[in-house]
Amino acid sequence: MEYVFLGRTGLKVSRICLGTMNFGPYTEEAESFKIMNRALELGINFFDTANVYGNMWDAGGVGNTEKIIGKWFAEDKSRRNKIVLATKVYGNMGSAPNESKLSAYHIKKACEDSLKRMQTDHIDLYQMHHIDRNTPWEEIYQAMEQLVKEGKIIYVGSSNFAAWNLAEAFYKAKERNFLGIVSEQSIYSLRNRQIELEVIPACKNFGIGLIPWSPMGGGILCGVLEKAKEGRRMREPLQKSVEKLRPQIEAYENLCKEINLKPADVALAWVLNNPVVTSPIVGPRTVDQLNENTKTLEIKLSGDILKKLDEIWPGPGNQAPEAYAW
87, 120 Cβ separation under 8 angstroms? no
169, 137 Cβ separation under 8 angstroms? yes
Structure confidence at residue 237 as a pLDDT band (50, 70, 90): confident
Q: So what's the pLDDT on residue 227?
A: 58
Q: ω into residue 321 within 30 of 0, thus cis?
A: yes
Q: So what's the pLDDT on residue 195?
A: 98
Q: So what's the pLDDT on residue 241?
A: 85
Selected catalytic residue, list 53, 90, 155, 188: 53
Q: So what's the pLDDT on residue 228?
A: 54
Residues 318, 322: Cα–Cα separation, whole Å: 6
In CATH terms, 3-219+264-302 corresponds, of 3.40.50.300, 2.30.42.10, 2.60.40.2230, 3.20.20.100, to 3.20.20.100
169, 198 Cβ separation under 8 angstroms? no
Catalytic annotation present for 141: no
Structure confidence at residue 317 as a pLDDT band (50, 70, 90): very high
Structure confidence at residue 240 as a pLDDT band (50, 70, 90): confident
Structure confidence at residue 235 as a pLDDT band (50, 70, 90): low
| Arithmetic mean of pLDDT over the chain | 95
Over residues 217-226, the mean pLDDT reads 91
**37-63: per-residue pLDDT in tens?**
999 999 999 999 999 999 876 656 899
Q: So what's the pLDDT on residue 238?
A: 81
319, 198 Cβ separation under 8 angstroms? yes
DSSP string, 115-161: HHHHT-S-EEEEEESS--TTS-HHHHHHHHHHHHHTTSEEEEEEES-
* Out of 8-12, 198-202, 217-221, least confident range: 217-221
Q: Could you state, in order of their start, the residue ranges of all structural domains in the chain? A: 3-219+264-302
Q: So what's the pLDDT on residue 57?
A: 67
User: What are residue 87's DSSP bridge partners?
Assistant: 126
Q: So what's the pLDDT on residue 174?
A: 98
- 44 residue type, one letter: I
Is 60 exceeded by the pLDDT of residue 242? yes
